[in-house]
Amino acid sequence: MRRMGKYTAHVAVLASAVGISLAAWGATALVGAEDGSDGGAAAGARTPDRGTTGPDRPAKPTVRVPEGIAHAAEAGGRAVNITIDDGPDPRWTPQMLDILKENDVKAVFCMIGPQAKRHPDLVKRVVAEGHRLCDHTMTHDTTMDRKPVAYQKQQILDALRMIEEASGGTEVQYYRAPGGAFTPDSRKIAAAAGMRPLGWNVDTKDFERPGAAAIVATVKSELPNGPTILFHDGGGDRSQSVTALREVLPWLKEQGRTFSFPVRTAPDAP
């Protein structure tokens, strides 16, 4: 469906033009015209999707994105990417946002669909403060790489709709599989929907709550692996993650590091 967003939009416009001209012939004619359209256009007419525009409608994908998993930073050089998963969470996400703001750093937030739906205020704040959105599926099933394609599609696209709607129509630019459980199919589904598959280079293991000092130490020791750093703002008590992020950002600056976003349209750099 979303792969055909552009065409759906065209057909939807045509369908509504036809609808307007047919309106003179009565409501029956209008309903007949819409029901007679192809499945995509009919769905577009009844159920708003990315191909439909309007104040509360998500924007359609603007660029083609590769299916390859991104790790590199758009800015290249010594830039790093801060990525924060499993939220939004009313307790931890605002604290992460405060720290990012204090340090003038932009990050990528990989969100769980139902949590985004539950906390649209947090999603809107993430967007308003210049961060980017990432789809982290509906239920965080780390075994989804062994599930049917239809299930993967539902996990990805249902969450995408929830995050987009919660944000007020901001484009979700990345897709990160739970636990890194990507498949060729899930990467294709995400890319077709305008979301670049997103990996990581530095796993802080903050999810296991090893202590803030250990999280900071992991960043320092694994940074040579590459620029994309993984933190969490949901899925449990993330107080250690908050403390670690507060220490890590100034340290990165002291190292001469700058901050960027993961590559979206470019091939991943080695």
Beta-strand pair 258-260/79-87: parallel
Span near Zn ion by CB under 5 A; candidates 22-30, 41-49, 77-85, 249-257: 77-85
Alpha carbon distance 190, 238 (integer Å):
28
What's the closest the beta carbon of residue 126 comes to Zn ion, in angstroms?
A: 16
Q: Which is nearer to Zn ion, 52 or 93 (CB)?
A: 93
- CB-count exposure of residue 59 (10 Å: 0-12, 13-18, 19+): middle
Q: How far is CA 106 from CA 97, 126, 202, 258, in A?
A: 9, 9, 17, 10
Binding mask 173-212 for Zn ion (x = CB under 5 A): -----x----------------------------------
Decide: is 86 part of the binding site for Zn ion (CB under 5 A).
yes
Residue in the shown chain whose Cβ atom is closest to Zn ion: 85
Span near Zn ion by CB under 5 A; candidates 25-33, 125-133, 172-180, 239-247: 172-180
Q: Which is nearer to Zn ion, 200 or 261 (CB)?
A: 200
Among 85, 89, 165, 206, which residue sits at the site for Zn ion (rule: CB under 5 A)?
A: 85
Q: Which is nearer to Zn ion, 34 or 86 (CB)?
A: 86
Decide: is 89 part of the binding site for Zn ion (CB under 5 A).
no
Q: Which is nearer to Zn ion, 57 or 118 (CB)?
A: 118
- Which stretches of the chain bind Zn ion, using CB under 5 A? 85-86, 178
